[in-house]
Amino acid sequence: MISVLDFGMGNIHSCLKAVSLFTKDFQLTSNPEDLENSTGIILPGDGAFEKAMSNLNEMGFAEKLKLAYEKKIPIFGICIGFQILFEDSEESTVFGKNILGLGFLKGKVRKFSFENHKVPHMGWNRLLLQKKNTKLLKNVANSSYMYFIHSYRPINSGSDFVSATCSYAGESFPVIVEKDNLFGTQFHPEKSDREGLKILENFIEVTKT
């Protein structure tokens, strides 16, 4: 059973609809205990890093996610679910205070800062594959277009787990990560047409092995 986490962030329904295209063996859950017997976990959502981590901690999900990661249960973070896999973020309502993430991946989440380009980075942009034949990228072509909407991105991250990057305003940043049983996309695969859905399908196949 794949558990799609309902932790108070947006974009749940489009994710559920996309998952249902490839499997009936999934559930939407707000119960942390469900993670222990899950074959896979999806962290979807739109919204702020601080709110996401606050909800995960208050609901008891954060500790269960750490246990699931240690148990090698496949975990897939989407958009804000991708960003919270990293060490911390400056996206906070508390001035001068960085909010800690789950810390599964090395990297700091920081805001884009451009004089002549719009923030958020919103719309279609293409993948620049850094690795081939990874689990998420099976049968996904280089330069495939994905749908983005975000103002923050990881910096100072490790390169060993970055499968694909994207370029905006001349800056390259990680948008697909894979590390052991950990997966994530900065873009929304469920909103990214056939190629994006293929990435989601590839994760679902991982949960079956």
Catalytic residues: 79, 188, 190
Q: What is the rounded CA–CA span in Å between residue 173 and residue 132?
A: 18
Strands 75-78, 182-185: parallel, antiparallel or unpaired by DSSP? parallel
Is residue 2 helix, strand or coil?
strand
Can you tell me which residue has the tokens 């594959």? 129
Q: What is the rounded CA–CA span in Å between residue 116 and residue 7?
A: 35
- Cβ neighbours, 10 Å, residue 17: 10
CA distance readout (Å), 8 to 4, 62, 66, 148, 179:
12, 14, 19, 20, 26
Q: What is the rounded CA–CA span in Å between residue 19 and residue 14?
A: 9
Residue ranges in the chain assigned as alpha helix (H): 12-19, 49-59, 61-70, 80-83, 193-206
> How is residue 189 annotated by DSSP?
G
Tokens of residue 133, six digits: 């034949």
Tokens of residue 142, six digits: 């280089």
